[in-house]
Amino acid sequence: MDSIDLRLIDLLRENARSSYAELARKVGLSAPAVHERVGKLEAAGTIRGYRADVDHEALGLGVTALIGIIEDSGADTDDVLTAVRAMPEVESCYFMAGVESYQLTVRVGTIAELEQLIVRINRTPGVASTRTAIALSTKWENRPQPGISS
Amino acid sequence: MDSIDLRLIDLLRENARSSYAELARKVGLSAPAVHERVGKLEAAGTIRGYRADVDHEALGLGVTALIGIIEDSGADTDDVLTAVRAMPEVESCYFMAGVESYQLTVRVGTIAELEQLIVRINRTPGVASTRTAIALSTKWENRPQPGISS
DNA sequence: TCTGAGCTATGGACTCCATCGACCTACGGC
DNA sequence: GCCGTAGGTCGATGGAGTCCATAGCTCAGA
């Protein structure tokens, strides 16, 4: 993990479909060398995968909301997690410090669907209550933080 | 935007480095046809880009937190936004309904750095107060929600 | 019903890339 | 000093990306 690796990661976070040849030109190595480095980063789990970044509105998922979950005292936290995991609308899930055990990012098409989703989460065994905040607009998301690849 | 487009988007959300030839095999078209479809999706802004999904801990960014910002009454909301945008630690930024105008996802290396970041945000003109919640663990993030590409 | 326009797929051709193997160099341990 | 290893370059080749000409399909209008 040297500065060239960091630079490769930066470049792939910027455009994951860059060709190895292009990456090689930018970091000043040969294509096979870059190929091997990227392969090692993938094998080590430093690079977990490559995702297309889509316009959710264009796909009919224009409503984004953040939902905090407060669990029942004595609830089995794994049950809640399993139930939430089965809901495809839940894009991200963090286990939090504080009163709200989980913080979810959810993505749905309409406010009505959001309402149904909240009801479903509240009905889940182990969930005491939820707190929902709706995003009016997304200023930016998943902005890559550049590594210090001097 | 038909079911083949949706399927292409799903496949690229799963693995953005798939070759056109591979995508073509999976959707039952020729590679040039897929190439043109993906190009149109990019031009239309439906596909915004392709990002490597990295292990933040391996890059020394093991601390994730969610920060809500309450603005001063009468603050120029654009000033706050501009200041926050200039902070590379802020990975995502939503403009919210409710008391907290902005909700941020931030990524830093240590709790000490988080503290410094919170101080910096609180010092920003227009910011009345902040509320920070620390993620103890990330269950999942940016999970692609499959389109209904029957 | 026939016709022409426009869209989108296919197949071929050419260029460029991915990837493998062979070899070269720097470095650390014996 | 010698050898083993890690990590690089170079060259070759098979396959992919991409441009282009062409063929079907849909639909509007005579």
Nucleotides of D under 7 A from a protein CB: 7-11, 15-20
pLDDT digit string, tens, across residues B90-122: 999 999 999 999 999 999 999 999 999 999 999
Long-range own/partner contacts, residues B114-122 (CB < 8 A, 24 or more apart): B114/B63, B114/B65, B117/B87, B117/B89, B118/B67, B120/B87, B121/B67, B121/B69, B121/B83, B121/B84, B121/B87
Asked if the Cβ of residue A102 lies within 7 A of any atom of strand C, the reply is no
Q: Which of A50, A41, A35, A51 is nearest to A6 (CA)?
A: A41
Q: Identify, with chain letter, the residue nearest to nucleotide D16 (CA–C1').
A: B21
B21-CA/C6-C1' distance, Å: 27
**Please, are residues A92 and A101 in contact by the beta-carbon 8 Å criterion?**
no
Indicate whether this model's pTM tops 0.75.
yes
pLDDT reported for residue B150:
47
Please report, in tens digits, the pLDDT of each residue of chain A (150 residues total).
888 999 999 999 999 999 999 999 999 998 999 999 999 999 999 999 999 999 999 999 999 999 999 999 888 888 999 999 999 999 999 999 999 999 999 999 999 999 999 999 999 999 999 999 999 999 999 999 887 654
Residues B42 and B87: their CA atoms lie apart, in Å, by 28
**Please, are residues B96 and A135 in contact by the beta-carbon 8 Å criterion?**
yes
Which residues is B63 bridged to in the sheet?
B108
Asked if the Cβ of residue A39 lies within 7 A of any atom of strand D, the reply is no
Residues B29 and B40: their CA atoms lie apart, in Å, by 16
pLDDT reported for residue B142:
94
pLDDT reported for residue A22:
93
